[in-house]
Structures are given as structure tokens and as C-alpha cells.
């Protein structure tokens, strides 16, 4: 299928439904959703890089985009950043279509790709000033934005330092500053923590949360799932171009959690306690390890309380109970199959 033909079809289809004034100028679509993908498709020949993806991100929220390499994350982000056109469907940034109003989208969006170019023979302040001018910032406003961005990203102390002398972490800060220089409503960050040391990752995570607290909407992809679980208000799991699950981390965990691992420490007669537990339908995989009784438990929190109460009523001395809830990594492994295209 020819990609050029697909792109024209997408434009023709959406333009009829995009609100416009009598003079043809676009009308902002007011909504609490600052990012919205509507049945997005992107084909490269026979490869379906993105296939019928729809989701939205509320204003001031952080959305984690999760998937293996080649799943379609970067393709989706490039479409949102107006660097590529969808084959079908549309995407909206702060109420404006990436197909019909790309210039308006670019003014409202800051994009930090997974790989980016820097200029070896310029310093940090010159680099940021170049992009500020490219976005049309002038006079005092440009000066104030430069000062704020360098202060926020912690690069003010190396304003005169050549970019070629920066560490990977400081380059990431600088490029985050570049994406922030025009004060966009939406931030798209593609693998921003890749290659960073633990301290730099923690600092980046704090900056992203602060941006969300300031009202910015952030879409971020990462392979470090534990950090996404702590940082994101909601996540989407994508594989082979298809969105497999979306929602808050807790919601997805509850939807996918058929059982959890329980560990109960019995001060005396652990083997007898195990025999008692074996009669309960929601208990499986019993293992006795000294005073510890480990097993898979398919009940909810109320069933768990009833189970402990039953053990105590039968004279077993329950000293500790530990419940292991599935992590985002566990859910990711359960939802995906490790497929690439």
C-alpha cells in the first residue's frame, strides 16, 4: 500500500470533521484531554507500525508509553510531533490536529527524541538561545525564558561550557531545556532516561513530575518500568503496533492480577497450618520453609483477612504476613509476548 496515498486519505477524511471558522482558520477543540490519538494507523509497505491506536492523556498528567523495541512507540510519538503523517486516523495536541494544523501543534509541543543532534562548537547558552529565536521569542521574553529554563534544568552553572564537554546526563538536561524553551503545553519524551546514571534518573524523574504539577501534559516512553510506575498517572502497553492495555498502573494491575503470592510466618506447627490451608479453594502451590508458608492466593483483600482469621481461630500463631502484588514489570511480561515486527 502506498504511504503517500494513505496520508492524503487521512487528510481528506479528517479535514471535513475538524472545526473551522468561516475564514478557514482552525477552532481550538476545548477538552481536558491535552493529547488524543483517534484510531491512528501508520503503515510502511506491509509493515503495520501503528494499528488502530486510540488513547488520551488529561491535562497535567504523565502518561507512560511502554513496549519492546519496534512496538510502535517512536512512530506514534513522531506523528504527534508532526514529523510523520498517519496513514489513517488523526492525533490532537492541545486541541489541534497534527494533520490539518501542524504549525499550531508545534507551537504547543516540546519533543525530546531518543537521539538528537547537538552542535559541538557552541556553548549551552548559545544552543538554547538559537532555539528560542527559532520559536520566535524576542527581547525580554527570550531572556526570561532562557534564565528560567537553565535554572530549572540545572544548566545555569555551565552556560559558557561547550556542548562537546558535557556528560550524557547534562546533555539530556540541555535537550530537555531545548524542548521547554517556548513553554509548550505538551511534552513528548522518547527514552529520556536511556544511559543515565541512577542519580541523573532520579533528578530527571523529579523534573518531569514538577512539569506535570505546573500543568504540562507529558508523554514519556521508557524501558525502566519501575520508574514509570512511580512517575506516571497512567500507562499504555503497546506491542506490534497494537495497544494491549491502557489505564492507571493500579487499574491495569488489578485487571491482570489473577493471584498474588502470600507468605505467612507461623511460630509453631507450620506444616499443620499448610495442611489447613490446602483445603481452601483459593490457595495453591503451598511451600513450607521453616516457619514460612508460601502459596499463591486468588482471593481479594477481604478473603485474605478471612484466611488469617481462620488460621488464628484454629490455634496457629500468625506472626507475619506478606503479600506480593504484581509489579508493572510483572504485568508487562504477562500482557506482552515479546513479539517484534
Confidence check: pLDDT of 301 > 70: yes
Note the pLDDT tens digit of each residue in 192-243: 887 788 888 888 889 999 999 999 999 999 877 777 777 889 999 898 899 9
Q: Which residue has the higher pLDDT, 40 or 248?
A: 40
Mean pLDDT for the chain?
Answer: 84
Whole-number pLDDT of residue 115: 76
> What's the alpha-carbon Rg for the chain, to the nearest Å?
25
Distances from the Cα of 288 to the Cαs of 202, 276, 313, 322, in angstroms?
39, 12, 20, 15
Q: Which residue has the higher pLDDT, 101 or 8?
A: 101
Whole-number pLDDT of residue 164: 86
Whole-number pLDDT of residue 6: 40
- Average pLDDT (274-301) is 90
Note the pLDDT tens digit of each residue in 20-33: 444 454 544 446 89
Q: Which residues of the chain form CATH 3.30.70.100?
A: 258-324
Q: Yes or no: is domain 258-324 CATH 3.40.640.10?
A: no
Which of the four CATH numbers 3.40.50.970, 3.40.50.300, 3.90.220.20, 3.30.465.10 does domain 3-108+184-253 have?
A: 3.40.50.300
Note the pLDDT tens digit of each residue in 105-129: 999 999 998 877 767 789 999 999 9
- Report the alpha-carbon angle 164-127-180, nearest 5: 120
Whole-number pLDDT of residue 338: 58
Whole-number pLDDT of residue 318: 93
Length of the chain (residues): 341
Q: Which residue has the higher pLDDT, 69 or 283?
A: 283
Q: Which residue has the higher pLDDT, 137 or 257?
A: 137
Confidence check: pLDDT of 36 > 90: yes
Highest mean pLDDT among 71-85, 114-128, 188-202, 291-305: 71-85
Give start and end residues of each alpha helix (H) in the chain: 3-15, 73-80, 102-107, 124-134, 139-153, 168-180, 198-213, 225-231, 249-256, 270-277, 301-313, 328-335
- Average pLDDT (294-323) is 90
- Average pLDDT (79-99) is 95
Q: Which residues of the chain form CATH 3.40.50.300?
A: 3-108+184-253
CB 290 within 8 A of CB 270: yes
Amino acid at each position: 500500500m502506498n504511504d503517500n496515498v494513505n496520508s492524503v486519505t487521512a487528510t481528506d477524511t479528517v479535514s471535513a470533521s475538524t472545526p473551522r471558522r468561516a475564514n478557514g482558520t482552525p477552532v481550538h477543540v476545548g477538552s481536558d484531554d491535552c493529547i488524543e490519538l483517534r484510531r491512528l494507523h501508520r503503515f510502511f509497505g506491509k509493515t503495520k507500525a501503528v494499528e488502530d491506536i486510540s488513547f488520551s492523556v488529561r491535562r497535567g498528567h504523565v502518561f507512560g508509553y511502554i513496549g519492546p523495541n519496534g512496538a510502535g512507540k517512536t512512530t506514534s510519538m513522531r506523528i504527534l510531533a508532526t514529523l510523520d503523517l498517519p496513514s489513517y486516523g488523526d492525533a490532537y495536541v492541545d486541541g489541534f490536529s497534527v494533520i490539518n494544523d501542524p504549525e499550531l501543534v508545534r507551537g504547543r509541543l516540546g519533543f525530546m527524541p531518543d537521539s538528537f543532534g547537538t552542535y559541538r562548537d557552541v556553548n549551552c547558552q548559545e544552543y538554547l538561545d538559537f532555539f528560542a529565536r527559532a520559536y520566535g521569542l524576542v527581547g525580554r521574553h527570550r531572556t526570561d525564558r532562557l534564565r528560567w529554563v537553565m535554572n530549572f534544568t540545572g544548566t545555569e552553572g555551565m552556560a559558557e561550557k561547550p556542548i562537546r564537554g558535557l556528560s550524557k546526563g547534562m546533555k539530556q538536561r540541555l535537550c530537555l531545556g531545548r524542548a521547554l524553551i517556548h513553554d509548550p503545553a505538551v511534552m513528548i519524551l522518547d527514552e529520556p532516561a536511556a544511559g543515565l546514571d541512577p542519580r541523573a534518573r532520579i533528578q530527571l524523574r523529579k523534573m518531569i513530575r514538577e512539569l506535570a504539577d505546573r500543568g504540562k501534559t507529558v508523554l514519556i516512553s521508557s524501558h525502566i518500568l519501575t520508574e514509570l510506575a512511580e512517575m506516571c498517572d497512567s500507562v499504555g502497553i503497546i506491542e506490534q503496533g497494537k495497544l494491549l492495555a491502557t489505564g492507571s498502573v493500579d487499574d491495569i494491575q488489578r485487571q491482570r492480577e489473577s493471584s498474588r503470592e502470600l507468605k505467612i510466618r507461623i511460630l509453631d506447627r507450620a506444616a499443620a497450618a499448610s495442611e489447613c490451608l490446602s483445603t481452601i479453594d483459593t490457595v495453591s502451590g503451598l511451600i513450607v520453609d521453616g516457619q514460612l508458608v508460601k502459596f499463591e492466593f486468588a482471593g481479594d483483600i477481604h478473603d485474605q483477612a478471612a484466611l488469617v482469621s481462620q488460621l488464628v481461630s484454629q490455634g496457629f500463631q500468625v506472626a507475619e504476613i506478606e503479600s506480593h502484588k504484581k509489579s508493572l514489570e510483572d504485568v508487562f511480561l504477562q500482557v506482552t509476548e515479546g513479539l517484534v515486527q
